Amino acid sequence: MSKEQIKDLIERHLPEAGLVDTALKGVQLFRVTDAVPCVPAVYEPTVVAILSGTKEAVLDGEHHMYDSDKYLLCPMTLPVEAGTPRASKADPLLGVVITLNPRVMRELTLEIETAAGVIRQARAGAQSALALAAWDDGFTQALLRLLELLDHPVDLEVLGQGRLRELSYSVLTGEAGAAARRAFGVGNEIARTIEYLSTHLNEQVTIDDMAEHVGMSRAVFHRRFKEATTLSPIQFVKSMRLNNAAMKIAEGKTVSEAAWDVGYQSSSQFSREFRRMYGQSPRQWSNTTQVSERLN
């Protein structure tokens, strides 16, 4: 019943297709009525919950399809491809995006681990950078309580941050909790590196710079980075730059402006790497991509 209440609430606040910010900072509602193939995007630390339809996210060739049975956790900034391959007017994609506050997530992770008496151990094995989790009662109720505030402006102003904290807690204690705690807990060096990279995309940052930033040797950093993201540091930086550039071009920037904004000093190198990744030149991308048709 709670899911139906959430769906009705979203439909009421968003009767037409689109992606809209709500009065709750960091909470967006979306409705998609046309099938959209996967296109380059950059996911910030977020939770994406679907109430009807199916959404897709692709990271390093691995496809993650999710619907109203599973929500998506992206615990760190990642270069992905995202699309809505099955959306239609008869069966629209309907959902909500919640941006996670890294400070709140770190505080909650520390509190949870302290309360549980957790002794952190060295991590082993490859981990998925994107995580899918079942809608348990805690998450469902927290999301409903959060979105109900949209109908009550005074309650929203007073209780909004508390309800967002409750939603974050439900993620940390749910099926995707281990992935979230790895990203936001003690020893979250890779997430901190990605946060640093995201704000220095237009600078020439080397692997040695990244390793030094978190106090690791180059070899250990390279291994830990690939375990956390599935990409090597160099692949990650290149994907972040090219995805950001593709989004900027789709939004109306010229090819040269987009290339310069993400740190390319050679337009020919940018064009070569862009074509290698997306199968078409930046100019062809500019001519065929319309931002109104995309949902990142």
pLDDT grade for 126, boundaries at 50, 70 and 90: very low
How many angstroms separate the CA atoms of 75 and 253, rounded?
29
Q: Which residues contact 64 (CB under 8 A, 6 or more apart)?
A: 56, 57, 58, 72, 130, 132
Cβ contacts of 77 within 8 Å, gap of 6 or more: 42, 43, 44, 45, 194, 195, 197, 198, 240
CB atoms within 10 A of CB 91: 12
* CA–CA gap between residue 183 and residue 53 (Å, rounded): 29
Give the pairing of strands 93-99 and 27-32.
antiparallel
pLDDT, position 278: 86
Q: How far is CA 197 from CA 26, 88, 145, 193, 232, in A?
A: 22, 37, 35, 6, 14
Residue 47: C-alpha distances to residues 74, 82, 241 (Å): 6, 14, 23
Q: How confident is the model at residue 148 (pLDDT cuts 50, 70, 90)?
A: very high
The alpha-helical segments, DSSP class H, found in the chain are 2-13, 102-116, 137-148, 153-172, 177-184, 189-198, 207-213, 218-229, 233-250, 255-261, 267-278, 282-288
Note the pLDDT tens digit of each residue in 34-66: 998 888 999 999 999 999 999 999 998 889 999
Is residue 216 a contact partner of residue 189, using CB atoms and an 8 Å limit?
A: yes
Q: Are 229 and 126 in contact (CB under 8 A)?
A: no
The structure tokens listed for 126 are 């490859």
Closest-CA residue to 256 (of 223, 224, 282, 219): 282
259: nearest Cα among 267, 199, 273, 80: 267
Greater confidence (288 vs 95) lies with 95
Banded pLDDT at 186 (limits 50, 70, 90): low
Question: What is the mean pLDDT of the segment spanning 66-91?
Answer: 92
Percent pLDDT > 70 in the chain is 92
- Which sign does the torsion angle of CA 235, 241, 247, 252 carry? negative
Residue 66 identity (one-letter amino acid): Y
Q: Taking 90 as the threshold, does the pLDDT of residue 154 lie above it?
A: yes
The larger pLDDT score, comparing residue 161 to residue 110, is at: 161
Q: Which of 38-47, 111-120, 139-148, 264-273 has the lowest mean pLDDT?
A: 111-120
